[in-house]
Chains A and B, each alone.
Chain A
Amino acid sequence: GAVVSQHPSRVICKSGTSVKIECRSLDFQATTMFWYRQFPKQSLMLMATSNEGSKATYEQGVEKDKFLINHASLTLSTLTVTSAHPEDSSFYICSARDLRGPGANVLTFGAGSRLTVL
């Protein structure tokens, strides 16, 4: 089945620095990817929709200048948390859909990236 890979799985950074998280679709192309954020003991919250070759669409309340999304190829989307602060510490998860075959309507999720900002 479709596989979505995220890197890094864990990252610790100092306050004020920027962190980039990569999301790759393996063995399939994804024109659209979704980025979620999850705080401890809470559900997943959709942050933005990443569109290949165009600007991302952000959900209400998500700062686009703080969470930069780049979807430069059909297999890679990146999320950059700029000037990270402790309140940005969270579990970031991406997802994508392989439009081929019987799994075309199923979103596949990456394993997540845990960001800790000191």
Chain B
Amino acid sequence: DAKTTQPPSMDCAEGRAANLPCNHSTISGNEYVYWYRQIHSQGPQYIIHGLKNNETNEMASLIITEDRKSSTLILPHATLRDTAVYYCIVRVATGTASKLTFGTGTRLQVTL
């Protein structure tokens, strides 16, 4: 799986948009970009994933650059409950044994 690079930490004011970047310059054509987050002392929670088109769901939006070498996760209106470690993971989607390899992620702190 392609390696990803994320900033170790970010701050965001409550109510503002949180934009979390991820670099994955060695991504292959069949690899998807996945985002998970982990709130303290809980299991990771799936947020969103995409291949090359921008994606949006009830939690967030995923913007993938045209060359697919980087992406941005956007939480449109961050709340205190969004404080967590956010992991950007690149992997092939298919295959029952296709596993997730976690990097160090970005620790997002949402403040009042």
Interface residues of A, dominant DSSP: strand
Number of residues from A at the complex interface, CB < 8 A: 27
Given A32-B97, A34-B100, A49-B97; A109-B45 close (CB under 8 Å): yes
Number of residues from B at the complex interface, CB < 8 A: 23
Interface residues of B, dominant DSSP: loop
Query: Closest Cβ of chain B: how far from A113's Cβ, in Å?
Result: 10
The answer on a CB contact under 8 Å between B41 and A107 is no
Q: How many cross-chain pairs have Cβ atoms below 8 Å apart between A and B? A: 54
**B43 closest partner in A (C-beta):** A109
Query: Closest Cβ of chain A: how far from B24's Cβ, in Å?
Result: 16
| Chain A residues within 8 Å of B100, by CB | 34, 46, 95, 107
Q: List 5 A-B contacts (CB under 8 A).
A: A32-B97, A43-B87, A43-B102, A57-B97, A91-B41
Measured CB to CB, the residues of A under 8 A from B are 4, 6, 31-32, 34, 36, 43-46, 49, 51, 57, 91, 93, 95, 97, 99, 105-112, 114
